[in-house]
Amino acid sequence: MVPTDGATYSVRLRDLQQRIDQLKEQIRRSHTRLSLLSDTILSSGAAGSRASIQFENKLSNLFQVTKALVVLDGAVQYNKSDRSGVLGDQKTIPIFNGSIPPGDHLVQVLVNLRGNGYGVFSYLRGYKFEVRSSHSFTAAEGKTSRLRVIAYEKGGATTPLEERPAVRYLERVVAGTTEPAPSGPGN
């Protein structure tokens, strides 16, 4: 290492101090811009948008939910696995209730099921099913999008068991973005 004399040390110290001062100034300007932006958003009265998503299990006792995964815009909102049957006993599961930016959004759902049979039909327990589904919706400024993700059985008694499990979506848009009051399952 080359020894540094006092003059070189002073120059380096001054350069370092100038760089620190420049960084402090950049941080101060960024903080000021962020404050102004925050004030503008809050004072403009922009209500934003809100989403309320719930999962509903409308499947018969032939199927037992063993896993439910719900993803909103690429972020996992709900992910539970359960082989004991407790997950399947829940008929309604709240998934998400919060603010979202106005615009297009995507909900992706994965539901794993196991056949559920007794006595002569106990062979159904060996059946495993996987239902994948997705739904796009648009959140409007100042409104709440209420989305019901419903696991159900399509077809009838003659429909093969492996073709019955499905997911459908019921969407309702309501005015306002305030937290909704609790209501019944038909909300």
Whole-number Å distance between alpha carbons of 185 and 56:
9
Q: What is residue 40's predicted lDDT score, i.e. its pLDDT?
A: 55
Looking at 3-91, which runs of residues are DSSP E strands?
Answer: 49-57, 63-72, 75-81
First to last CA, the chain: 75
Q: What is residue 43's predicted lDDT score, i.e. its pLDDT?
A: 46
The tens-digit pLDDT sequence of the chain (187 residues) is: 566 788 888 888 899 999 998 998 888 888 777 766 665 555 444 568 899 999 999 988 888 888 999 999 999 999 998 877 677 778 899 999 988 889 999 999 999 988 776 655 555 666 788 999 999 999 998 899 999 999 998 888 787 777 788 999 999 998 876 665 444 444 4
Instruction: For the chain, give every domain's residue range.
Output: 1-44, 49-175
176: left (phi over 0), alpha (psi -120 to 50) or beta: left
Cut 0.75: pTM above it: no
DSSP element (H, E) containing 158: none
Whole-number Å distance between alpha carbons of 109 and 37:
35
Options 3.30.70, 2.60.40, 1.10.3470, 3.40.50; CATH of 49-175: 2.60.40
Pairing assessment for the beta strands 143-153 and 49-57 based on DSSP bridges: parallel
Q: Under a CB-based contact definition with an 8 Å cutoff, are residues 61 and 88 in contact?
A: no
